[in-house]
């Protein structure tokens, strides 16, 4: 079905192609390009620039990876250089969840609850093997096999626990993603 | 009781004209993976209902499906700040059942790693206690210095914090020759650093005001409730598994166990500080006395044990950690029961918080060094 | 199961305890010395409270370090071990006294020791939810670690197989 539609698609005449002629189409396209370059691109750039250097993570520790999270906020690795502040504030001011490892069946509804309360835009980093696949607790009766069934994950950081450098790399990847994204 | 709220909602609720139930955690600046509800009357806490289990991963059940050696990496993740010491009693119990003797060099390496881990765990604790009391410097300094000890552990174990180093049969590998000069250099640095800690934090008037006579746990209560580790020693009990029932070669070493008569939060904090000094002293002595030789007895991956039961304990950073293993003689343990210090110390949270002020809660809570991942297993 | 384990000579202090237990309870208990400092006392649930009281008042064991429950489906029994330790007892800090009690699986009830040793509180709650053993007299026998919506059988029973594992794996 889908393949057929795709094949047929180029044969269909575009909207307005018969009555208005190609001239108006080019004009609309140009105007859109001008607006895009003059207004939307700078605004997007500005908004993304503002967002990517002020990521505030929720302080939700789901399991033991939070120790390396502590090391990342410490002076040697100092994630604050990259604009990630270990926030000690309300989740309503936060735009990033770092899932620190294992999510148990008891924690899962709370994680989703917290994710839903955060304002848009928001991003999720799944830290550690447990939050990706369940890790060494793959056969446990109380552990979720990966957190991506629960919240949409932007960056996965493998490791058990990941080294702080890997976590910083994840922040940089996430910032790259934000830089390229359209504003919502 | 505040139980209806503990099971239903996460909101603050007014239960009587002048009483309010406040839910703390699991998303909370301090509580981390733990939740408790407190009932407050004005500024005073009148009831506490702890609600653990947010990190319960069923480690005890999983050991039934793994051989003795396969369980190690999974068990050590239960207490990631203190990985060497949680495997300690497990290995001791398994070795009792297997009936094997460990070479002396392996025993010394165990002690070195165990004490290094204790310093790391205490530094992590100190950092969080600092930020709990609003002292950001005391968060940055210990976490920065902790990384130096992480490097020391990495020299021996090969990983940052999860080395699976202490295993049944000995230790995984010998230490490099460069470890000794490096360790001695680090200890010299850290001893001057501890003096700075004392000056900026432990003698800080604000710290004293917030911890002295706060959360007093009397000696008889501490014994009756069965608390362990720094909480017990902060309550004027000079008890430490390393002295009470020495494992490895602790009986040959010279070190002190601190205890304080004040029985308050300040005393519990001071115990951590003194223990870090003593741990360095122990490692220095180990490096002096260490003989050469093999470090482990090679075990088969499908190692069988004699049927029976064993109960072993070591002094972990948070207190006595004990394992009870029942074996039916097969390659997998029949039952592994973990008795962790965090779970044993949780029992006093209720006792200490009731009657204290809300503002004292962070200091009291973290002075117990309650690590929910360890408690929930 | 522990019968196959070789008996060991107790330490002098442990020897006193064994004598004291044997002379007081006689046939009601069976005392085994597993290690020089590990004594195991097996009794039935009717005598458990009396034994615990004796351990506290006469033998000076003042706290409980661990409660473990083990399921033995072949015997249709559940074994509960209380491990008692002592701080103030003379030369007792290295000794662990294990009180062992077996109850039938279909009638898994046991008197709670919380009045004698307040430190068993959370351990008994954990054993209750992990093995379904009811401790009679415990004031707050509620769920502790498992999620609120847990509806399966208690996970530490041998009949409970991990969902991710095949039979016999």
My answer on whether B225 and B353 are in the same domain is: yes
What are residue B143's phi and psi, to 5 degrees? -70, -30
My answer on whether A117 and A144 are in the same domain is: yes
Question: Cβ(B245)–Cβ(C93) under 8 Å?
Answer: yes
All partners of chain A with 3 or more CB pairs under 8 angstroms: B, C
Of A106, A138, A140, Cβ closest to residue C147: A106
Written as one string, the DSSP assignment of C27-70 is: GG-EEEEEETTEEEEEE-HHHHHHHHHHHHHTS---EEEEEEEE
Residue A96 falls inside a structural domain: yes
Residue B377 falls inside a structural domain: no
pLDDT at A65: 84
Question: Cβ(B327)–Cβ(B306) under 8 Å?
Answer: yes
A136 interfaces chain C, CB cutoff of 8 Å: no
Q: Given the DSSP bridges, would you call strands C134-136 and C109-111 parallel, antiparallel or unpaired?
A: parallel
- Domain region containing B15: 3-51
ipTM exceeding 0.85?
yes
My answer on whether B294 and B198 are in the same domain is: yes
Of A63, A74, A91, Cβ closest to residue B144: A74
Residue B110 falls inside a structural domain: yes
pLDDT at B377: 82
Residue B68 falls inside a structural domain: yes
CA distance B26 to B45: 19
**Closest residue in C to B377 (Cα–Cα):** C145
pLDDT at B189: 93
> Residue B136 corresponds to which tokens in the numbers above?
């950001």
My answer on whether A86 and A131 are in the same domain is: yes
| Helix/strand/coil for B312 | strand
Instruction: Sheet with B319-327: list strands edge to edge.
Output: B308-316, B319-327, B335-339
CA distance B47 to B358: 11
Residues of chain A where predicted confidence (pLDDT) is lower than 50: 1-9, 16
Sequence-distant contacts of A6-10: CB under 8 A, at least 24 apart: none
pLDDT tens digits, C42-101: 888 888 888 888 888 888 888 899 999 999 988 889 999 999 988 887 788 888 888 899
- Splitting chain B (377 residues) into consecutive groups of 10 residues, what average pLDDT does each group show? 42 74 75 80 87 87 88 87 89 88 90 91 90 86 91 88 88 89 92 91 88 87 89 88 87 88 89 91 90 87 86 90 90 90 88 87 87 86
pLDDT at B29: 61
> Which chain A residues are closer than 8 Å to C157 by Cβ?
none
My answer on whether A148 and A121 are in the same domain is: yes
My answer on whether B106 and B32 are in the same domain is: no
Q: Tally the domains of chain B.
A: 2
> Residue A54 corresponds to which tokens in the numbers above?
């002020």
Local structure of residue B97 (DSSP, 8 states): H
Residue A10 falls inside a structural domain: no
> Which residue ranges form the domains of chain C, and what is each CATH number?
2-136 (3.30.460.80)
**Closest residue in B to C86 (Cα–Cα):** B223
CB contact (8 A) between residue B131 and residue A88: yes
Residue A1 falls inside a structural domain: no
My answer on whether B251 and B284 are in the same domain is: yes
Q: Which of B215, B207, B138 is nearest to B370 (CA)?
A: B215
Q: Given the DSSP bridges, would you call strands B166-167 and B170-171 parallel, antiparallel or unpaired?
A: antiparallel
pTM confidence score: 0.87
My answer on whether A80 and A28 are in the same domain is: no
Written as one string, the DSSP assignment of B191-251 is: HHHHHHHIIIIIT-HHHHHHHTTSS---HHHHHHTT--THHHHHTT----HHHHS--TTGG
Question: Cβ(A23)–Cβ(A61) under 8 Å?
Answer: no
> Which chain C residues are closer than 8 Å to B346 by Cβ?
122
CB contact (8 A) between residue B61 and residue C123: no
CB contact (8 A) between residue B309 and residue C162: no
Distance between B29 CA and the closest CA of chain A, angstroms:
5
pLDDT at C166: 65
CA distances from B262 to A100, B15, B204, B317 (A): 37, 36, 18, 21
Residue B343 falls inside a structural domain: yes
Local structure of residue B159 (DSSP, 8 states): S
pLDDT at B282: 92
My answer on whether A39 and A85 are in the same domain is: no
CA distance B136 to B300: 49
Please give the share of chain C, as a percent, with pLDDT higher than 90. 6
Q: Given the DSSP bridges, would you call strands B335-339 and B319-327 parallel, antiparallel or unpaired?
A: antiparallel
My answer on whether A90 and A119 are in the same domain is: yes
- Domain region containing A132: 66-180
CA distances from B126 to B162, B320, C140 (A): 21, 20, 34
Residue A157 falls inside a structural domain: yes
pLDDT at B3: 39
Q: Given the DSSP bridges, would you call strands C96-104 and C38-43 parallel, antiparallel or unpaired?
A: parallel
CA distance B94 to B309: 9
Question: Cβ(B200)–Cβ(B137) under 8 Å?
Answer: yes
pLDDT at B212: 86
My answer on whether A87 and A170 are in the same domain is: yes
My answer on whether A169 and A79 are in the same domain is: yes
H-type helices in B158-199, by residue range?
Answer: 179-197
My answer on whether B256 and B178 are in the same domain is: yes
**Which residues numbered 93-152 in C keep a CB inside 8 Å of some CB on B?**
93-94, 96, 98, 117-119, 121-123, 126, 130, 142-148
> Residue C26 corresponds to which tokens in the numbers above?
């006689």
My answer on whether A41 and A112 are in the same domain is: no
My answer on whether A46 and A95 are in the same domain is: no
Whether residue B294 has a cis bond before it, omega within 30° of 0? no
CATH code (residue A156) = 3.40.50.12280
My answer on whether B170 and B34 are in the same domain is: no
Q: Given the DSSP bridges, would you call strands B35-41 and B44-51 parallel, antiparallel or unpaired?
A: antiparallel
Beta partners for residue B201, in sequence order: none
Q: Tally the domains of chain A.
A: 2
My answer on whether B12 and B117 are in the same domain is: no
For chain B, helix (H) and strand (E) counts, in that order, are 15, 9
CB contact (8 A) between residue B58 and residue A68: no
CATH code (residue B150) = 1.10.645.10
Q: Which of B12, B30, B51 is the last residue of a domain?
A: B51
> Which chain B residues are closer than 8 Å to A64 by Cβ?
55, 77-80, 373
Residue A100 falls inside a structural domain: yes
- Spell out the SS3 assignment of C16-33: HHHHHHHHHHHHHCEEEE
Q: Which of B9, B13, B2, B80 is nearest to B47 (CA)?
A: B2
My answer on whether A40 and A98 are in the same domain is: no
My answer on whether B32 and B75 are in the same domain is: no
Residue A142 falls inside a structural domain: yes
A39 interfaces chain B, CB cutoff of 8 Å: no
My answer on whether A29 and A83 are in the same domain is: no
pLDDT at C169: 53
């Amino acid at each position: 079905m889908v393949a057929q539609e795709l094949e047929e698609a180029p044969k269909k005449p575009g909207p307005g192609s018969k009555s208005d002629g190609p001239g108006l189409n080019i004009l609309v396209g140009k105007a859109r390009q001008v607006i895009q370059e003059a207004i939307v691109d700078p605004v997007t750039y500005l908004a993304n620039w503002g967002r990517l250097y002020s990521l505030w993570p929720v302080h939700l520790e789901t399991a033991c990876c939070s120790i390396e999270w502590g090391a990342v906020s410490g002076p040697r690795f100092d994630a604050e250089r990259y604009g990630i502040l270990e926030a000690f504030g309300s989740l309503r001011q936060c735009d990033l969840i770092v899932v620190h490892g294992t999510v148990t069946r008891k924690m899962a509804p709370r994680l989703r609850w917290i994710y839903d309360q955060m304002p848009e835009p928001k991003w999720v980093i799944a830290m550690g093997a447990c939050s990706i696949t369940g890790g060494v607790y793959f056969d446990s009766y109380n552990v979720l096999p990966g957190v991506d069934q629960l919240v949409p994950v932007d960056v996965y950081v493998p490791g058990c626990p990941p080294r702080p450098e890997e976590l910083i790399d994840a922040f940089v990847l996430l910032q790259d993603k934000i830089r390229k994204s359209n504003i919502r | 009781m505040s139980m209806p709220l503990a099971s239903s909602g996460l909101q603050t609720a007014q239960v009587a004209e002048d009483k309010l139930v406040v839910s703390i955690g699991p998303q909370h600046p301090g509580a981390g993976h733990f939740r408790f509800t407190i009932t407050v009357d004005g500024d005073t806490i009148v009831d506490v209902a702890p609600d653990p289990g947010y990190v319960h991963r069923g480690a005890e059940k999983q050991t039934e499906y793994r051989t003795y050696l396969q369980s190690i990496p999974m068990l050590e993740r239960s207490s990631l700040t203190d990985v060497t010491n949680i495997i300690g009693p497990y290995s001791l119990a398994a070795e009792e059942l297997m009936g094997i003797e460990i070479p002396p060099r392996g025993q010394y390496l165990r002690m070195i790693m165990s004490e290094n881990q204790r310093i790391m765990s205490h530094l992590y604790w100190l950092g969080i206690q600092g930020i709990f009391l609003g002292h950001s410097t005391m968060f940055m300094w210990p976490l920065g210095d902790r990384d130096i000890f992480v490097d020391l552990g990495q020299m021996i174990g090969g990983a940052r914090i999860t080395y699976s180093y202490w295993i049944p049969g000995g230790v995984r590998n010998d230490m490099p020759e460069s470890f000794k000069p490096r360790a001695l250099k680090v200890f010299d640095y850290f001893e001057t650093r501890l003096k700075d800690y004392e000056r900026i934090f432990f003698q800080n008037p604000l710290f004293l005001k917030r911890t002295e006579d706060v959360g007093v746990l009397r000696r008889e209560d501490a014994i009756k409730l069965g608390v362990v580790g720094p909480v017990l020693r902060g309550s004027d009990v000079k008890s430490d598994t390393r002295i009470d029932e020495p494992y490895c070669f602790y009986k040959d070493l010279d070190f002190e166990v601190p205890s304080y008569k004040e029985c308050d939060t300040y005393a519990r904090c001071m115990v951590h500080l003194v223990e870090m000094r003593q741990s360095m002293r122990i490692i220095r002595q180990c490096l002096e006395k260490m003989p050469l030789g093999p470090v482990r007895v090679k075990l088969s991956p499908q190692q069988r044990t004699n049927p029976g039961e064993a109960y072993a304990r070591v002094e972990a950073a948070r207190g006595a950690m004990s394992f009870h293993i029942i074996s039916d003689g097969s390659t997998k343990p029949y039952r592994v029961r973990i008795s962790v210090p965090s779970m044993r110390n949780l029992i006093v949270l209720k006792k200490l918080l009731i009657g204290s002020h809300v503002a004292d809660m962070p200091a009291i809570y973290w002075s117990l060094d309650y690590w929910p991942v360890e408690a929930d297993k | 199961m522990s019968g196959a384990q070789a008996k060991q000579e107790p330490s002098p202090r442990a020897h006193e305890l064994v004598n004291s237990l044997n002379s007081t309870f006689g046939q009601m208990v069976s005392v085994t010395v597993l290690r020089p400092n590990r004594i195991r006392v097996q009794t039935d649930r009717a005598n458990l409270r009396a034994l615990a009281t004796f351990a506290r008042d006469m033998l000076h064991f003042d706290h409980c370090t661990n409660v473990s429950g083990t399921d033995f489906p072949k015997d249709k029994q559940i074994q509960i071990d209380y491990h008692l330790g002592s701080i103030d007892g003379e030369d007792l800090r290295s000794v662990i006294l294990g009180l062992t009690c077996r109850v039938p699986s279909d009638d898994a009830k046991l008197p709670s020791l919380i009045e004698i040793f307040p430190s068993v509180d959370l351990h008994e709650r954990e054993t209750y939810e992990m093995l379904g053993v009811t401790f009679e007299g415990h004031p707050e026998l509620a769920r502790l670690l498992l999620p609120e919506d847990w509806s399966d059988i208690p996970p530490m029973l041998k009949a409970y197989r991990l969902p991710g594992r095949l039979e016999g794996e």
